[in-house]
Amino acid sequence: MAYVGNPIDTQNTFQSLQGKRFSGDGSTTAFTLDVAPGNVLDIEVFVGNVRQDPNSAYTLSGTTLTFTGAPPSGTNNIYVVHQAKSVGTIDVPDDIISGKTLVTADSSADHVLIEDATDGGLKKALYPSGFSVSSITGATELAAQPAATDEIVLSDAGTLKRLDIKHIQNTPAFSAQINAADNFADASWVKAEFDSEFFDSDSAYDHSTNFRFTPAVAGKYMLIVSVMLTANADNEWDEGGVRIYKNGSAFHEFVHDCGGARPHSQSFTCHMIDTADDDDYYEVYIYTNDTSGNPTISGLSSSITRGLFTGIRIAGV
């Protein structure tokens, strides 16, 4: 990383060490050095050519060297060698950081200092001032319902990821009706053909061939069925019911047995919530035992729906 602070003396390859000699008199314990060491380990002290223990033989206070016991008399019998020469105090100069106050509001023109990994130089870079409209491709407002494949950005336990909007919407969703009354086989489970759609958000319901709902998005779905099953005449409707099939097999069943008190028709409204994978599909089957053998499922009558199949995604898996 590039250096910040007062320039270091680079004119000399090596810095000369400081030294000082004193003459002991048998009573003086304090002596004055020319340079203040950082601590007792920054100097070597000799008395009569014997090195003194820095942990017990002397102390330092600024430039004052104080022995714990007075050195003996002798000419220049005390000498001090500095382990390293002080070349100045390194600090960040005032002209590098102006004001030295905390930034409380960021600006797109602010800069930070960073190390350039390419050349090791200290360089300034624009401060990342956060997410703004300019960060969005196009920077235009979405004025319509997002498409299922539109994406949002979110944090997955700290990792930024894209997510299709379909995973958090209540779609797919559809609603279909039976357009016209239809006869069907007596005393048999027969697929109900809801052949006219009110809406179908993702084209997930086939209303022309297989008459099935294939969500294609995993999640929890609410399915609602409402039908009117009619006998050929009064007092002929004996028993019947509705089944919701899942992947070609009966899954939920709603049945009613008149027990001899036969009406002309019977209405069923049923619902369920199920967890679907992206490749599951649902169909509706109906059953009526008509004593005359000619049952009918009612369709649209004077703009009133009598046969309805609805599905909607209510939550994720």
CATH number of the domain to which 214 belongs? 2.60.120.40
* 247 conformational bin, left if phi > 0, alpha if psi -120 to 50, beta if neither: left
Q: Tell me, yes or no, whether 189 and 307 share the same domain.
A: yes
Domain membership flag for residue 140: no
Number of alpha carbons in the 13 Å side-chain half-sphere of residue 142? 9
pLDDT of residue 98: 60
Domain membership flag for residue 36: yes
pLDDT of residue 243: 97
Q: Which of 82, 111, 126 is the last residue of a domain?
A: 82
Token pair 């004052």 is found at: 64
Q: Tell me, yes or no, whether 76 and 188 share the same domain.
A: no
Are 228 and 306 in contact by the 8 Å Cβ rule? The answer is yes
Q: Is the dihedral of CA 197, 199, 205, 208 positive or negative?
A: positive
Number of alpha carbons in the 13 Å side-chain half-sphere of residue 224? 15
How far apart CA 100 and CA 149 sit, in angstroms, is: 49
Domain membership flag for residue 125: no
Domain membership flag for residue 13: no
pLDDT digits (tens, 9 = 90+) for 109-165: 777 778 888 887 788 777 665 556 566 666 677 778 777 778 888 888 888 888 888
Domain membership flag for residue 211: yes
Are 317 and 225 in contact by the 8 Å Cβ rule? The answer is no
Domain membership flag for residue 287: yes
Q: What is the pLDDT along the chain (317 residues), one digit of tens a residue?
A: 455 555 555 555 555 667 889 999 999 999 999 888 888 888 999 998 999 998 899 999 988 999 999 999 999 999 999 886 655 555 555 555 565 666 666 666 777 778 888 887 788 777 665 556 566 666 677 778 777 778 888 888 888 888 888 778 888 999 999 999 999 999 999 999 999 999 999 999 999 999 999 999 999 999 999 999 999 888 888 999 999 999 999 999 999 888 777 888 899 999 999 999 989 999 999 999 998 888 999 988 777 888 999 999 999 88
How far apart CA 82 and CA 65 sit, in angstroms, is: 12
How far apart CA 297 and CA 192 sit, in angstroms, is: 8
Domain membership flag for residue 133: no
Which residues make Cβ contacts (< 8 Å) with residue 82, sequence separation at least 6? 17, 18, 19, 35, 37, 42, 43
Q: Tell me, yes or no, whether 179 and 310 share the same domain.
A: yes
* Residue 33 domain boundaries: 19-82
pTM beyond cutoff 0.85: no
The structural domain count of the chain equals: 2
